[in-house]
């Protein structure tokens, strides 16, 4: 007592004077004096005022907001502002008969925020809130987990684990990793994230055996292994593996009530299965128990299955922090057919359309499962038929849904039915299906055809503790359970006086129940109904009752029932007789169907999932539960397949933790399995998170390229052999020619010289078949699926041909290299004058720059002085040369084209500076911009240059650093579609990028180069962390990348034009005559000014039919 008083004296909450005096002795007279009298008077006054304050009605807005916060925070750790507003208004209207306004609610919430009892963060869809209590609970959980690192001795050595696992060759790698983690860790807590069907229970069984063996060898005190789970189904599965188990709730209740002391678990390893369904409150209490007792715990769960119905997702929070030693189990063993396994992997990847396609790909269930022919050969059945009357069509589809599903179940043999799980999401649907199934079973003679006996059935209403304190959830006829044996039936709801008139169903005593006066720690509210039962009915026991020796979720069969008693028999043959008048006998339900929540953790051969497409509970998590329960076959019945897909796409049911809410943490979908996806769900064809038809079309074109020769002949007939060679297939006669490129990077591209059509194989299909873009894509898919039907044959030399330069390009490359090698250093040449005038950088020599005074131009049929810039590959070899035609005075020559590229430019760039700055490279559009930066390169950054923005699509970035800065004028990057394509390409390759551009606004080109160079230096300074703000360009780019946008026809056209902007050479074959004159033909298609190039593209896009 002295130690307690000493500690209390240090506490901010201290015993009052009154308490100290009264605690001293039973006779207080000898302690009374003037000082103690004043203290006692003060304390009594404070106590009275406190009681009066508690009794006084608080303002309505305060009551409404506090109700909303307490009610919502019981279910979610982070929640939306609109949820609080709705609940506050509901409280005011239903509980107080009046209303409150949103501005009032918002103002009071901000008062609470100022007091630090709630916290908020702004999101795109509005404000989100959490409570200080939730935040502290989550941080306390993480602290508990962190405190357990390195806190215990391992059960087994790594050598012992390896020796044991070497004998278990049948186990998957994931199972072995899990066993090794549990047995050899020195941490008090570990995590196993395992997808449905990976064999977590089997892993625990083997882990337990290894620990027992190792402990026996070491002669240690045997460890106690105790399995825990939130559902009775999961508990039973652990027990089937030989692991003693109970529900998590029952363990925590025993500790809370004092029935069990923490010390009992000092030498215990807890295996907490289905941990992803545990709430913050449960995790907090459980980790406190583990820490106080010195026990250990392994958490097993799946962050993609159902989450807790109460606030928080601590398992996922702990998993995401990556501070706890973790194993991920991915080797799915449950599904026994490739189609069903694919469906499960697709739903984990969050690809709903591919999931449904995989379910549809299953073969029908074998005839041996049916006692009469099945009505269905499909595995996905939609009852919706569009007759043009939406309202009537939807209602008819819903009416047919349950009848068809019940008939499918009834058409199966009794053995098959026993191995079939029917899932429906709501209890209303389950009751409807049970009624149809029982009627069918009676008609077939599988249930007695006589009259049924009505038996009371209780179902939980699901009110929160905060609601139970109000009058809102109570209705006449509902049953209140305040303890193990106390059931009170509500006879009257007196809202005016906030009380209930109830009858104790055991004693018959009539009494009053005042919800506001109870703490409701043990209160549950039930609905009561009379349901028919007969001999042979299959039921599930829903609530553990130790006196009746019945475990929750036990499967039972009714062996006898009358108005007095009901006898039920379990799988073990043990019979239990229950008095039907006792409410404790009423916690049963039909087991012809289960909800997804009830089904989690179960494994069956076959599943029938009955889904109302637009229902609130229809989401991707429950789809995962449905499909992953089956090992052999799954069928889906829905009232609208299209609406079902929409619900799966948009209803994710993802709770957020308090920490995530405040930190605005978002976790993008992860691709856990390399599956064959439908195109619109394949990340390969997505940009900014949305499917891009143009990317898909481009890939189809690439997939068709190996068939170039046979596809061209299939579409265009026999080639003109006299005009064809090893680089091109020519079709037609005279001037009416179509040429297909056979070599180089443009293998498979074509050009029709009569119509001007050109592009890849998709464009060729469009032109040859006179069909639209989408029709060509559909035909291309069919061709790739069944090439033999179109006489398509892959060219075995395809890979070699792709890397073979066409003779024309090869000879031009050779010619360009000759020019460069004949050139001289630029010092004191028109080239140095040009560079100085256009960049303010006086450069005399550079390995990539040369001057030549006689470079041929097809425009004038004569030669001109020129600046030559080499484009090199990663080995430093010259692949192409950029020619800038000059006057003898160092100005741009007055030609139709100012610059020209000769050789193989694709993928290659002009290397201007190989810097020392780590992590950052600069790509300049235009050699002039790059040289301008060279003269002001404050950070010694890498600099390369490309000829035009389109070259960014193909430039090789392997030698570039992690972050890339693109510098250009605004006019060079005016095409938003091009910017999106460049961004997508570079980010896909693992780079982060920023754009630095400047508008001309009347400035001279050389001034633009200097201004952009200054901006690049500022950008680099900020990226190096010398300032804390980002440039506007980076902010804008981030906004562009993160702003979702749905593809439209214009976007598709713009992106599709990628395949046409890469023009290819279709000129006549070079002869051995003077090579310079052959440039005339080559340039007709390959060398245009940027402006001309864009004009041609725009014209070509107008010809596409989308």
847 domain residue, yes or no: no
CATH number for the domain that contains residue 310? 3.40.50.300
* Greater pLDDT, 129 or 806: 129
Residue with tokens 């180069």: 1009
Cα–Cα distance for residue pair 449/441, rounded to 1 Å: 9
480 domain residue, yes or no: yes
Same domain as 281, residue 157? yes
Residue 136 neighbours by CB distance under 10 Å: 12
Same domain as 46, residue 73? no
Residue with tokens 């409410």: 583
For strands 224-229 and 245-247, give the pairing: parallel
From the list 91, 94, 88, 123, the residue with the least C-alpha distance to 107 is: 88
Q: Please state which of the ranges 83-97, 422-436, 659-673 shows the lowest mean pLDDT.
A: 659-673
Average pLDDT of span 223-237: 87
Average pLDDT of span 1003-1021: 81
Same domain as 209, residue 86? no
Tell me the percentage of the chain whose pLDDT exceeds 90. 58
**824: which DSSP letter?**
B
Cα–Cα distance for residue pair 837/889, rounded to 1 Å: 11
Q: What is the pLDDT of residue 41?
A: 62
Residues 6+ apart with CB under 8 A from 732: 720, 738, 754
Same domain as 1026, residue 917? yes
- Among residues 538, 559, 590, the one where a domain terminates is 590
pLDDT at 1033 over 90: no
* Greater pLDDT, 278 or 1032: 278
Residue with tokens 């929750």: 552
Q: What is the pLDDT of residue 1028?
A: 38
Banded model confidence at residue 842, pLDDT cuts 50, 70, 90 = confident
499-520 pLDDT, tens per residue? 999 999 988 999 999 999 988 8
From the list 330, 191, 229, 234, the residue with the least C-alpha distance to 629 is: 234
User: Coil, helix or strand for 89?
Assistant: helix
Both tokens of residue 230?
Answer: 């939130």
* Domain limits for position 635: 338-426+595-650
Residues 6+ apart with CB under 8 A from 20: none
Same domain as 297, residue 181? yes
Cα–Cα distance for residue pair 949/968, rounded to 1 Å: 9
Q: What is the pLDDT of residue 10?
A: 41
Banded model confidence at residue 40, pLDDT cuts 50, 70, 90 = low
579 domain residue, yes or no: yes
Q: Rank 343-347, 799-803, 804-808 by mean pLDDT and report only the highest.
A: 343-347
Q: Helices (DSSP H) in 666-755: which residue ranges? A: 693-704, 708-716
Cα–Cα distance for residue pair 509/359, rounded to 1 Å: 57
Same domain as 600, residue 565? no
User: Coil, helix or strand for 63?
Assistant: helix
352 domain residue, yes or no: yes
User: Coil, helix or strand for 977?
Assistant: helix
Residues 6+ apart with CB under 8 A from 154: 183, 184, 185, 186
Tell me the percentage of the chain whose pLDDT exceeds 70. 86
Both tokens of residue 983?
Answer: 């961004």
Per-residue b or e along 887-919, where b marks 16 or more CB atoms closer than 10 Å to that residue's CB: eeebeebeeebebbbbbbbbbbbbbbbebebee
**491: which DSSP letter?**
E
Where are the extended beta strands (E) located within 274-382?
296-301, 326-329, 380-382
User: What torsion, rounded to 10 degrees, do the Cα atoms 854, 856, 860, 866 define?
Assistant: -50
**CA distances (Å), origin 1032, targets 949, 997, 1014:** 21, 11, 14
Q: Please state which of the ranges 207-216, 661-670, 728-737 shows the lowest mean pLDDT.
A: 728-737
Q: What is the pLDDT of residue 1045?
A: 36
Q: Rank 113-122, 599-608, 893-902 by mean pLDDT and report only the highest.
A: 113-122
Q: What is the pLDDT of residue 234?
A: 83
User: Residues in the chain, how many?
Assistant: 1106
Q: Helices (DSSP H) in 190-247: which residue ranges? A: 200-218, 232-240
Banded model confidence at residue 33, pLDDT cuts 50, 70, 90 = low
Cα–Cα distance for residue pair 864/887, rounded to 1 Å: 7
Cα–Cα distance for residue pair 1091/1088, rounded to 1 Å: 8
- Among residues 329, 357, 386, the one where a domain terminates is 329
Q: How many distinct structural domains can be found in the chain?
A: 7
Q: What is the pLDDT of residue 34?
A: 58
- Among residues 590, 617, 641, the one where a domain terminates is 590
Same domain as 761, residue 712? yes
Measured between its terminal Cα atoms, the distance across the chain in Å is: 86
Same domain as 1020, residue 1037? yes
Same domain as 465, residue 580? yes
Edge to edge, what strands does the sheet with 479-481 contain? 453-460, 524-533, 479-481, 487-494, 499-504, 510-513
538-590 pLDDT, tens per residue? 999 988 887 887 888 889 999 999 999 999 999 888 999 999 999 999 999 99
Same domain as 172, residue 317? yes
∠ at Cα 550 (544, 553), nearest 5°?
Answer: 65
* Greater pLDDT, 114 or 545: 114
pLDDT at 254 over 50: yes
Cα–Cα distance for residue pair 881/636, rounded to 1 Å: 62
Q: What is the pLDDT of residue 1002?
A: 61
Residue 364 neighbours by CB distance under 10 Å: 14
Tell me the average pLDDT of the chain. Answer: 84
1075-1093 pLDDT, tens per residue? 333 333 333 333 333 333 3
Q: Please state which of the ranges 72-86, 677-691, 1030-1044 shows the lowest mean pLDDT.
A: 1030-1044
Cα–Cα distance for residue pair 540/552, rounded to 1 Å: 8
Where are the extended beta strands (E) located within 331-406?
380-382
Both tokens of residue 1023?
Answer: 């990226």
926 domain residue, yes or no: yes
Cα–Cα distance for residue pair 603/869, rounded to 1 Å: 68
pLDDT at 70 over 90: yes
From the list 779, 774, 780, 778, the residue with the least C-alpha distance to 1052 is: 774
User: Coil, helix or strand for 827?
Assistant: coil
895 domain residue, yes or no: no
Same domain as 713, residue 617? no
685 domain residue, yes or no: no
Residues 6+ apart with CB under 8 A from 220: none
pLDDT at 53 over 80: no
Per-residue b or e along 868-882, where b marks 16 or more CB atoms closer than 10 Å to that residue's CB: bbbbbeeeeebbbbb
User: What torsion, rounded to 10 degrees, do the Cα atoms 363, 364, 365, 367 define?
Assistant: -120
Cα–Cα distance for residue pair 239/223, rounded to 1 Å: 17
Chain-centre distance of CA 399, in angstroms? Answer: 34
CATH number for the domain that contains residue 607? 3.40.50
Same domain as 579, residue 604? no
Cα–Cα distance for residue pair 547/284, rounded to 1 Å: 30
User: Coil, helix or strand for 603?
Assistant: coil
Cα–Cα distance for residue pair 462/815, rounded to 1 Å: 82
280 domain residue, yes or no: yes
Q: What is the pLDDT of residue 430?
A: 94
pLDDT at 307 over 50: yes
Q: What is the pLDDT of residue 666?
A: 85
pLDDT at 678 over 60: yes
426-470 pLDDT, tens per residue? 999 999 999 999 999 999 999 998 889 999 999 999 899 999 999
Both tokens of residue 1098?
Answer: 């725009």
Cα–Cα distance for residue pair 144/146, rounded to 1 Å: 5
CB-based contact 347:355 (threshold 8 Å):
yes
Q: What is the pLDDT of residue 45?
A: 61
820-832 pLDDT, tens per residue? 999 999 999 999 9
Q: Please state which of the ranges 272-276, 466-470, 866-870, 1080-1084 shows the lowest mean pLDDT.
A: 1080-1084
pLDDT at 342 over 70: yes
């Amino acid at each position: 007592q002295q130690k307690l008083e000493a500690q209390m004296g240090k506490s901010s909450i201290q015993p009052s004077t009154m308490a100290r005096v009264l605690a001293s002795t039973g006779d207080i007279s000898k302690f009374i004096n003037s000082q103690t009298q004043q203290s006692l008077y003060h304390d009594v006054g404070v106590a009275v005022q406190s009681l009066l304050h508690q009794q006084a009605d608080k303002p309505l807005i305060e009551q409404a907001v506090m109700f909303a916060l307490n009610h919502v925070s019981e279910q979610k750790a982070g929640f939306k502002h609109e949820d609080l507003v709705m609940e506050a208004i509901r409280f005011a209207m239903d509980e107080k008969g009046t209303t409150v306004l949103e501005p009032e609610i918002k103002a009071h919430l901000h008062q609470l925020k100022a007091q630090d009892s709630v916290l908020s963060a702004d999101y795109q869809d509005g404000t989100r809130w959490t409570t200080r209590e939730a935040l502290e609970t989550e941080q306390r959980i993480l602290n508990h987990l962190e405190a357990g690192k390195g806190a215990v001795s391992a059960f087994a050595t790594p050598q012992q684990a390896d020796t044991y696992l070497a004998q278990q060759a049948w186990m998957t790698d994931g199972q072995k990793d899990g066993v090794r983690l549990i047995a050899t860790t020195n941490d008090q807590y570990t995590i196993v994230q395992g997808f449905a069907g990976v064999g977590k229970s089997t892993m625990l069984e083997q882990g337990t055996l290894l620990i027992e063996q190792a402990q026996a060898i070491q002669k240690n005190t045997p460890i106690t292994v105790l399995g825990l789970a939130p559902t009775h189904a999961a508990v039973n599965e652990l027990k089937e593996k030989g692991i003693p188990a109970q529900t998590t709730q029952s363990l925590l209740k025993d500790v809370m009530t004092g029935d069990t002391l923490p010390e009992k678990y000092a030498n215990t390893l807890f295996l907490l299965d289905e941990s992803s369904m545990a709430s913050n409150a449960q995790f907090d209490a459980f980790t406190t128990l583990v820490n106080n007792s010195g026990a250990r715990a392994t958490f097993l769960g799946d962050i993609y299955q159902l989450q807790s119905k109460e606030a928080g997702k601590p398992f996922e929070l702990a998993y995401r922090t990556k501070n706890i030693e973790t194993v991920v189990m991915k080797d799915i063993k449950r599904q026994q057919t490739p189609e069903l396994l694919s469906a499960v992997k697709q739903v984990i990847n969050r690809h709903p359309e591919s999931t449904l396609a995989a379910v549809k790909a299953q073969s029908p269930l074998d005839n041996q499962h049916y006692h009469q022919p099945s009505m269905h050969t499909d595995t996905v059945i939609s009852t919706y038929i569009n007759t043009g009357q939406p309202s009537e069509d939807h209602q008819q589809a819903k009416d047919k849904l349950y009848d068809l599903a019940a008939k499918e179940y009834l058409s199966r043999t009794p053995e098959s039915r026993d191995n079939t799980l029917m899932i429906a999401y709501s209890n209303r649907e389950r009751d409807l299906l049970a009624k149809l199934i029982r009627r069918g079973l009676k008609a077939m003679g599988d249930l007695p055809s006589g009259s049924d006996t009505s038996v009371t059935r209780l179902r939980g209403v699901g009110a929160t503790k905060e609601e139970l304190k109000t009058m809102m959830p109570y209705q006449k006829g509902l049953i209140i359970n305040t303890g193990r044996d106390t059931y009170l039936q509500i006879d009257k709801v007196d809202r005016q006086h906030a009380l209930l008139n109830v009858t104790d169903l055991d004693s018959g005593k009539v009494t009053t129940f005042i919800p506001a006066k109870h703490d409701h720690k043990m209160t549950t509210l039930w609905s009561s109904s009379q349901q028919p039962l007969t001999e042979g009915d299959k039921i599930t026991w829903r609530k553990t009752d130790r006196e009746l020796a019945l475990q929750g979720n036990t499967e039972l069969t009714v062996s006898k029932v009358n108005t007095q008693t009901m006898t039920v028999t379990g799988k073990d043959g043990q019979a239990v007789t229950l008095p039907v008048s006792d409410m404790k006998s009423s916690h049963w339900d039909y087991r012809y169907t289960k909800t997804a929540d009830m089904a989690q953790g179960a494994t069956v051969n076959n599943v029938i999932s009955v889904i109302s497409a637009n229902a609130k509970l229809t989401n991707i998590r429950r789809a995962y539960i449905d499909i992953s329960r089956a090992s052999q076959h799954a069928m889906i019945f829905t009232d609208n397949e299209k609406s079902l897909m929409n619900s799966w796409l948009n209803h994710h049911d993802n709770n957020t933790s308090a920490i995530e809410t405040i930190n605005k943490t978002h976790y993008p979908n992860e691709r856990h399995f390399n599956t064959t996806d439908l195109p619109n769900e394949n990340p390969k064809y997505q940009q900014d998170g949305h499917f891009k038809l143009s990317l898909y079309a481009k890939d189809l074109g690439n997939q068709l390229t190996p068939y170039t020769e046979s596809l061209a002949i299939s579409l265009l007939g026999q080639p003109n052999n006299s005009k064809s060679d090893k680089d091109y297939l020519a079709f037609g006669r005279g001037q009416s020619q179509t040429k297909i490129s056979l070599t180089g990077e443009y293998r498979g591209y074509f050009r029709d010289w009569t119509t001007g059509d050109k592009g890849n194989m998709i464009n060729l299909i469009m032109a040859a078949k006179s069909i639209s873009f989408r029709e060509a894509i559909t035909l291309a898919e069919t061709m790739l699926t069944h090439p033999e039907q179109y006489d398509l044959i892959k060219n075995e030399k395809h890979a070699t041909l792709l890397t073979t330069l066409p003779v024309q390009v090869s000879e031009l490359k050779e010619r360009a290299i000759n020019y460069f090698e004949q050139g001289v250093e630029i010092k004191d040449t028109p080239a140095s004058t040009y560079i100085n005038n256009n960049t303010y950088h006086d450069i005399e020599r550079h390995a990539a720059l040369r001057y030549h005074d006689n470079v041929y131009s097809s425009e004038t049929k004569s030669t001109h002085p020129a600046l030559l810039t080499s484009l090199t590959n990663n080995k430093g070899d010259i692949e192409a040369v950029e020619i800038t035609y000059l006057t003898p005075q160092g100005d741009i020559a007055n030609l139709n084209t100012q610059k020209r590229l000769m050789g193989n430019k694709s993928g290659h760039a002009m290397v201007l500076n190989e810097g020392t700055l780590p992590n950052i490279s600069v790509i300049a559009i235009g050699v002039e911009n790059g040289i301008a930066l060279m003269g002001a390169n404050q950070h010694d950054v890498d600099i390369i240059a490309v000829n035009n923005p389109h070259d960014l699509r193909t430039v090789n970035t392997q030698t570039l650093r992690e972050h890339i800065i693109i510098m250009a004028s605004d006019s060079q990057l005016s095409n938003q579609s091009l910017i999106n394509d460049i961004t997508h390409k570079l980010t896909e390759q693992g780079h982060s990028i920023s754009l630095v551009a400047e508008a001309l606004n009347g400035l001279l080109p050389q001034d633009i180069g200097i201004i952009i160079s200054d901006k690049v230096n500022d950008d680099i300074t900020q990226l190096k962390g010398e300032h804390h703000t980002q440039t506007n360009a980076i902010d804008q780019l981030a906004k562009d990348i993160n702003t979702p946008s749905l593809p439209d026809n214009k976007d598709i056209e713009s992106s599709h034009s990628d395949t046409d902007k890469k023009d290819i050479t279709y000129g006549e074959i070079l002869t051995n005559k003077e090579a310079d004159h052959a440039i005339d033909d080559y340039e007709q298609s390959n060398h245009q000014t940027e402006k001309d190039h864009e004009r041609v593209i725009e014209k070509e896009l107008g010809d596409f039919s989308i």
